[in-house]
């Protein structure tokens, strides 16, 4: 796909990581510098926090057992240059690819990490401060997929006091997984 200018400035196409059979799919925003260099999502500081957060409820991207595994991707597979946020147009271009990605991976639960991801997946303009922790259903063909919006780990690194909300959301995720 050559229709998105971000591809020209990025070093890698950061497609996914984790176990494709996982029941839980995490959707972040866009790769950062470390992810662009390594070609894998969430490998920088926020990725390390993400791994610790999900390990706390027994989930890991390197797990072979689908029930304990996670699968990780982003709204956009290319790093926006510098530290800028992706534009509305860039996000819109990424959406059909993300939807197809979800169709192929068939998650039973989606975790939307941060405001950009949550707004896209829930098709809402309401920010993450109000949506986090509230399960929503997205209609997907014949299926409905539960989506849990959570704070982005990069935000938690800047605002550690908010980690208690992330912990509450992880517990809620754990409960939902146990009910699958
Ligand atoms: N932030 C994201 O949203 N995704 C990544 O892959 C890395 C950082």
CA–centroid distance, 37 to ligand 1, in Å, is: 12
pLDDT digits (tens, 9 = 90+) for 116-125: 999 999 999 9
For residue 142, how far is its CA from the centre of ligand 1 (angstroms)?
Answer: 30
Pocket test for ligand 1, best of 41, 90, 154 (most atoms within 8 A of CB): 41
pLDDT of residue 141: 82
Q: What is the pTM of this model?
A: 0.98
Closest atom of ligand 1 relative to the 113 alpha carbon: 3
User: pLDDT for 131-165, tens place per residue?
Assistant: 999 999 999 888 999 999 999 999 999 999 999 99
> What is the pLDDT, as a whole number, of residue 83?
82
Positions of the chain with pLDDT lower than 70, given as ranges = none
Give the DSSP letter string of the chain. Answer: ----THHHH-S-----EE-TT-SEEEEES---HHHHHHTSSS-SHHHHHHHHHHHTTT-BTT-SSGGGBEEEEES-SSPPSTTPPPPHHHHHHHHHHHHHHHHHH--SEEEEEHHHHHHHHHT----HHHHTT--EEEEETTEEEEEEEE--HHHHHH-GGGHHHHHHHHHHHHHHHHT-
22 CA distance to ligand 1 middle (Å) = 19
91 C-alpha to ligand 1 centroid (Å) = 14
Q: pLDDT value at position 71?
A: 98
Ligand 1 shell residues, CB under 6 Å: 28-32, 35, 41-42, 46-47, 74, 154
Distance 114 CA to ligand 1 centre (A): 10
* Distance (Å) from CA 27 to ligand 1 centroid: 9
* pLDDT at res. 140: 87
Atom of ligand 1 nearest to the CA of 116: 3
């Amino acid at each position: 796909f050559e229709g998105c200018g971000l591809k020209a400035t990025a070093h890698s196409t950061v497609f996914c990581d984790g176990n494709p059979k996982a029941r839980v799919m995490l959707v972040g925003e866009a790769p950062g510098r470390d992810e662009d260099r390594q070609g894998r999502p969430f490998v920088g500081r926020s990725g390390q926090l993400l791994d610790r957060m999900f390990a706390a409820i027994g989930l890991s991207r390197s797990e072979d057992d689908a029930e304990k595994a996670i699968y990780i991707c982003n709204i956009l597979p290319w790093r926006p240059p510098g530290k800028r946020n992706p534009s509305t147009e860039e996000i819109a271009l990424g959406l059909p690819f993300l939807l197809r990605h979800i169709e192929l991976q068939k998650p039973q639960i989606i975790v939307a990490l941060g405001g950009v991801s949550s707004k896209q997946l829930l098709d809402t303009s309401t920010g993450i401060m109000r949506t986090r922790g509230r399960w929503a259903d997205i209609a997907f063909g014949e299926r409905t997929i539960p989506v849990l919006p959570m704070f982005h780990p990069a935000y938690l690194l800047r605002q550690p006091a908010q980690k208690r909300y992330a912990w509450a959301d992880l517990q809620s995720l754990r409960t939902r997984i146990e009910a699958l």
